[in-house]
Amino acid sequence: MLLRNLLLVLSMIVSLPHIGRAQSFMSQGQSRTVELEKNYRVVRSSPRTLSEQSKFTSLPKELVGRFNDIGLLVLPVDAVKAQTDIIGIPLWFSRDKGAAGVLTTEIVVMVTTADAVKKIKSIGDVVSVNESKFKDGLFAVSFKSEILALDWSKKIAGFSGVKYAHPNFVIAKSIRTNVKLIDPAEPLFPLQWHLKNSGQNAGAVGADIHALEAWAVTKGSEDVVIAVLDSGFEVGHPDLQQVWATNYSEIADNGVDDDDNGYIDDVRGWNFQKKSNDVNDGWSAPHGTSVSGLIAARHNSQGVSGSCPNCMILPMTIPFDVLNEAAAFYYAKSRGVQIISNSWGYAVGTPMTDVVVEAINDVAINGRNGNGIVILFAMNNINQDDCVGSNPDISSLDSVIAVSSSSDLDKKTVNSAWGHCMEFLAPSQESMRGAITTTDMTGPKGYNNGMKPGDLADLSYTNNFGGTSAATPIAAGVFGLMFSLNENLTRDEALSMVLATADKVHPEVANYDASGFSRKYGFGRINAAKALRAVEVFRKYSNKSKPGKNAPIRRQ
């Protein structure tokens, strides 16, 4: 009897997929290695302090803290209760760089034939197969366990009629914000040196986007909608109440999907994390509010100004699983936006997934009826090359515009990324120098709680925002001004104009080449006034002989 039981146990072990720490999955045509923390599980929970977290796990604080920020708790397997809402197994994409995620029981599969779907459905370990509502041929396939999902994702990736298959990872995003305190003893607009730098805080006069000159041409148009994929928005903010794009095909709060787009009551955008129309919520709710103010805060005699003060914003709260992340980009496309601003990214060393890359490429190239959608991504707030390596930053994609940051002295900020994939700099704060002033959550819950030296008296605003998180929406607003002047611009035409008219700041250090490009400075600091002049000239001469679509200049 003992021998029979031993043989039974051994046969069960042999039949199981390999469950060692080192595992792999397929993405972007490559086999990518991950390290599973298989003795732990990630569960849904209310946020806790790191000291509370340490009671449950000996894992690094960087890992548990990243999950804690988004309401997830890491527990040993033996501490997980049967009724607990389990998300999956924590893993490292790159342990030395702190890039972490969660392996779930679900995989993402893109098929090209109906036979492939039948074959997947016949797998005994499959629990469900559901086609997405936003992309034909894209399926979410769930399995009986996380390990089975990972194991089958590699096998299914090799099936005939399958374009790609990979786990539907949950990945904690990092918002790309740096903060700094400054003396606020002036009205708010003069503090916005990124719009008009008159030398405040001993900055360089003219080290700005030249907004006043641009606004003499246009302050934007409500026909231009900039989607902001971020972490939460205070839609009732007094300086932002007029900026939110409305879906007039949807009747508010009737619990019905009136326009049959798969999103119920999405009158003011969508929360892709909680799958609801409440976009106020997010893992860092002040962030989306501050970003939105930099784009479109109105000229209404209060507070601050955005770089495109008459443009509209489509608010979208970012999810953490890659399938819904892709859905967000398709949703923005379906809402007819011209621009998508992303002040976030993955932790360094995190690989991009096929489903997200495919969505971004599709939207950037085919959006706006083939004219293309401008997609901007903030580069890292680290002095590093974001464009190289086996897992380069998401801003390195050819179909997106990579934005790094410049200081109030018109120099590249020290703690911002660079590389051949970057396009240009836009203003943000340098360490120990002027930060960016913008909208904040009302009351003490935002960046400005009134308790720090130099805080603004009005808690609805902050003078403490920065990083490439600030540079990116400022630049998004410039593109908004351009599309307001000529709605027929293609994505490539608009980008080419911005690159051609960017100011070649700090040339003695930048070392711009013959084409005007620098690996550290891109094509220079964006200039809204010059970009709009290029739009005017293009509109004048394009009626005579309109050039074909030119691909944006990229450095290899």
Let me know: does 498 contact 339? Beta carbons within 8 Å.
Answer: no
Alpha helices by DSSP H, listed for 195-321, are 211-215, 285-296
Let me know: does 388 contact 364? Beta carbons within 8 Å.
Answer: no
The boundaries of every CATH 3.40.50.200 domain in the chain are: 200-542
Place of tokens 């709710």: 285
| Phi, psi at 385, each rounded to 5° | -80, 110
- Checking DSSP bridges between strand 225-230 and strand 312-317, what pairing results, if any? parallel
The pLDDT of residue 453 is 86
Between CA 390 and CA 24 the distance in angstroms is 14
Residue type, 399: S
Low-confidence stretches of the chain (pLDDT beneath 50): 1-18, 180-186, 544-556
pTM: 0.88
Let me know: does 205 contact 199? Beta carbons within 8 Å.
Answer: yes
The continuous run of DSSP H or E covering 364 comes out as: helix 354-366
Between CA 447 and CA 464 the distance in angstroms is 7
Instruction: Provide CB contacts within 8 A for 167, sequence distance 6+.
Output: 25, 103, 104, 106, 107, 108, 149, 150, 153
- Provide the CATH number for the domain formed by 200-542 in this structure: 3.40.50.200
CA torsion, ordered 446, 451, 453, 459, to nearest 10 deg = 40
Instruction: Provide CB contacts within 8 A for 456, sequence distance 6+.
Output: 184, 188, 437, 448, 462, 463
Place of tokens 């819950």: 445
Let me know: does 470 contact 199? Beta carbons within 8 Å.
Answer: no
Burial level of 217, CB count in 10 A (0-12/13-18/19+)? middle
Between CA 328 and CA 409 the distance in angstroms is 36
Output 53-61 pairs: Cβ under 8 A, ≥24 positions apart.
59/90, 60/98
Q: Which of 506, 501, 369 is nearest to 423 (CA)?
A: 501
Strand ranges (DSSP E) for 366-421?
374-378, 401-406
Rg of the chain taking only CA atoms, in angstroms: 24
For 27-61, letters b (16+ CB in 10 Å) and e give beeeebebbbbbebbbbebeeeeeeebeebbebee
Give the count of alpha carbons within 13 A of 518, CB side only.
22
The pLDDT of residue 474 is 98
Between CA 321 and CA 332 the distance in angstroms is 17
* Secondary structure of 527-546 in HEC code, one letter for each residue: CHHHHHHHHHHHHHHHCCCC
3-state DSSP assignment of residue 226: strand
Instruction: Provide CB contacts within 8 A for 3, sequence distance 6+.
Output: none
CA 524 to each of CA 63, 103, 231, 403, 521: distance values in angstroms, whole numbers, following the listed order: 36, 40, 29, 11, 5
Strand ranges (DSSP E) for 7-123?
22-27, 30-36, 40-44, 72-76, 86-94, 99-103, 106-111
